[in-house]
A = this chain, B = another copy of it.
Amino acid sequence: MTGTKNQLISMRHYTSVHDIENLDELIQEAIQLKKENSAANLGKGKTLGLLFFNSSLRTRLSTEKAGRLLGMEVLTMNVGADGWALEFEDGAVMNSDKAEHIKEAAAVLSQYCDVIGVRAFPGLKDKAKDEEEQVITAFTKFASVPVVNLESSTGHPLQALTDAISITELKKKDKLKVVLSWAPHPKALPQSVPNSFAEMMQKMDVEFCVANPEGYDLSDRVLDDTKVYHDQDEALKDADFVYVKNWSSYEKYGEVLSTDSNWTFSKEKLALTNDAKVMHCLPVRRNVVIADEVLDSENSAVIHQANNRTYAAQAVLKRILEQLD
């Protein structure tokens, strides 16, 4: 009872995995919504505004679909590159390239939208600045409506909820071993997906560890007491789920220290596990991050995961709508 109540209150915003009070309940709700859309009119007359500072395919489509499944109108805006530069500094004299302050932007969007989703990637140059989460923090501060994180500098909580739903659906036994396994990639990618996945696994009743080369340990703040292996093979032993993902170095912030193809997830790596389900948030670079032979096998859960993006977003938006007057 109290749990439910607390959760509704805590689901004012969904900016991080930590905004979830009762994870099991939220996962079960998403699985129910997938079976039967029992909330098709909950969002009637409400508007969902999706604000993209960076490009998006899956997040855009699945969140638009989730909003519409709830009966909401969806307004999608691509900001960023061309023109609409926002000022975030308090007291700034705006006489150069920034045309609008976040104070006005967030306040105005709050009048056209009942819920605002925001995607804003990190620059991967300045660790302290990225960790400030300037964009998402400013929106929660200056918007008068709930804010949903569509992937920020340091987290991707909708993806992590999707992953939790997928593991719950696909697991074949109670006590699971889940491994987050780093993979090579030609470009420097954010730590947002692995961060939120790690935080989510810490909330679930699973044995969780991370495997990555030296120099690629995630932030201590995220890892907490999670065990980190620098030997991938050792980590993969008996794994029931392996989440394969590249990220750039956190220590040497934003750098690509290795593209070692020994870390590519192959059939040989799969053989070390307990016939594990292999996960990835997509898009995935075939034969660099994960080998064809794995992606095209029955062990791959990546399409299943992508489908759950819709229901993760729908469950979160449902919770948020329920506590709007």
Contact = CB atoms under 8 A, between A and B. Distances in A.
Contacts of A287: 91-94
A303 B104 contact: yes
**Chain multiplicity (copies):** 3
Nearest to A310: B112
A57 B84 contact: yes
Which 10 pairs of residues, A with B, have the shortest CB-CB distance?
A100-B283, A94-B285, A111-B307, A93-B287, A108-B306, A61-B112, A107-B303, A95-B288, A99-B283, A95-B186
Contacts of A100: 57, 282-284
A260 interface: no
Interface in A295-311: 295-296, 302-303, 306-307, 310
Given A83-B55, A84-B55, A91-B292, A96 B186 contact: yes
A230 interface: no
A122 interface: no
Contacts of A146: none
A282 B91 CA distance: 17
Contacts of A77: 57, 60-61
Interface in A104-142: 104-105, 107-109, 111-113
A190 interface: no
A166 interface: no
Interface of A: 47, 49, 55, 57-58, 60-62, 64-65, 68, 73, 75, 77, 79, 81-84, 87, 91-96, 98-101, 103-105, 107-109, 111-113, 186, 259, 282-288, 292, 295-296, 302-303, 306-307, 310
Contacts of A113: 61
Contacts of A288: 93-95
Given A55-B82, A93-B286, A95-B186, 18 more contacts: A47-B65, A47-B68, A55-B83, A57-B77, A57-B84, A57-B105, A57-B108, A65-B73, A87-B286, A94-B286, A94-B287, A95-B259, A99-B285, A101-B284, A103-B286, A104-B283, A111-B303, A112-B310
Contacts of A284: 100-101, 104
Contact of A108 (B47, B94, B303): B303
